[in-house]
Structure formats: structure tokens, C-alpha cells
Chain A
Amino acid sequence: ETGVTQSPTHLIKTRGQQVTLRCSSQSGHNTVSWYQQALGQGPQFIFQYYREEENGRGNFPPRFSGLQFPNYSSELNVNALELDDSALYLCASRSRDQETQYFGPGTRLLVL
């Protein structure tokens, strides 16, 4: 148990729809990162939030957006879903001054 929770656990959407995924950080962690993990691959960094502001972004288009709230929980929003967006979406939290991050169980998204 890492103390990081994600919801929902599974989700099925159709192409063109929008989706919101949620993450609750481990207590005391003020930094959250989101990753996309396609089947058989390692996680790919989407973006990172610190104190409600995005402070790092990977190679993902603007239709991937996020929010971090004052309690450090976070959302990942994906607009105009595409078939290739089908993946396991992971969030990870940490304290800003620590390098070790802890992952939630992930949300598996299937886009039909």
C-alpha cells in the first residue's frame, strides 16, 4: 500500500469523448505526476504538478490536461479521445524535495 489512490479502476469510452481520471496523493506529498503506460511498455511521462501548477510536461498533445487541488489531489483530463489513448494511466506522488515517487494502482482506459 503506497497511500496513493486512483479512480475509477476501469473505464470504457468511445472515440471523440472526454474523460477525467482522479488521483489522491499520499499524505504529505505535494507533487504529483501522471504517466501513460501502453500494453507491454514502460510508463511515459505526461506531466507533473507542484502546488497546483504544472511544472513539467512530456511529449503529449494539449488535449491532455490536468489540475492539482489545494489538498494535492489531482485530475487528468483527456479530450477528443483516440483509439491510441487506450492504456493504463498511473499517477505518482512524492514530496518535492525527495526523489522517490510512489504509484497508485492505475486506471485502465479502453477507447472503442
Chain B
Amino acid sequence: TQLLEQSPQFLSIQEGENLTVYCNSSSVFSSLQWYRQEPGEGPVLLVTVVTGGEVKKLKRLTFQFGDARKDSSLHITAAQPGDTGLYLCAGAFGSGTYKYIFGTGTRLKVLA
């Protein structure tokens, strides 16, 4: 059974600080997606990483896929209040008929 563990579960930081969110599994995924979700809304895709060791940048957000495609991290530089939200990772497995499992999420609050 695939399982994705996210840490930390909660994070409250001051504006301008850096942070890293981790997503770990013992399973290999064909790809991993990161989402941000606002209360009462659906998750919004931030990035998909596919290749082991891949690093993608989205403005102040840096995403990395582990070499073995079992883990991933999201690093935010100089966090801003607009970064506040629930961050979710989701691993895809299978071939063609992909299935996804989600981590439990990291709730981030950035204080002005």
C-alpha cells in the first residue's frame, strides 16, 4: 500500500523567512505533483516533477524530486503572506491508468 508522509503538518512563520516542506514514501512514483489549496476550494497545481533528481523553480518556490523518485521537497524563499495555504503532494503510480495518493498536507501560515 502506497503511503505519502508530509512534514511538517503545521508551520507558522514570519514574512521573509525560508521554509522547506517534505514529502516522503517508501514507494516509487512515476511522477509527483505539488498543489496549493485554499479553504473550501479545490487544489491548484503548482508543479509536476517526473525525473529523479529533477529540480523545478516557480518564482520563490523550488521543487525537488528525489533521485529514487520516492520523496520530494518544496522550498519557499522569503515567504510572503500570500503563500499562506494548505500544500499537498500527490504521487502518481501505475502506467497509463495512473492512480494518485495524496499526502496529509502542510498547513502554512505566513505572518506579516
What is the CB-to-nearest-CB distance from B12 to chain A, in angstroms, rounded to a whole number?
16
A105 touching B88, Cβ below 8 Å:
no
A102 touching B98, Cβ below 8 Å:
no
A8 part of interface (Cβ distance < 8 Å): no
Give the docked Cα–Cα distance between A40 and B107 (Å). Answer: 9
B65 part of interface (Cβ distance < 8 Å): no
Known pairs A100-B33, A103-B43; A42 contacts B97 (CB<8 A): no
B45 part of interface (Cβ distance < 8 Å): yes
**A residues lining the B interface (CB < 8 Å):** 2, 4, 6, 33, 35, 40-45, 48, 50, 55-56, 88, 90, 92, 94, 96-97, 99-106, 108
- 8 additional A-B pairs beyond A99-B31, A99-B92, beta carbons within 8 Å, are A6-B42, A33-B100, A48-B99, A90-B42, A99-B50, A100-B31, A101-B45, A105-B42
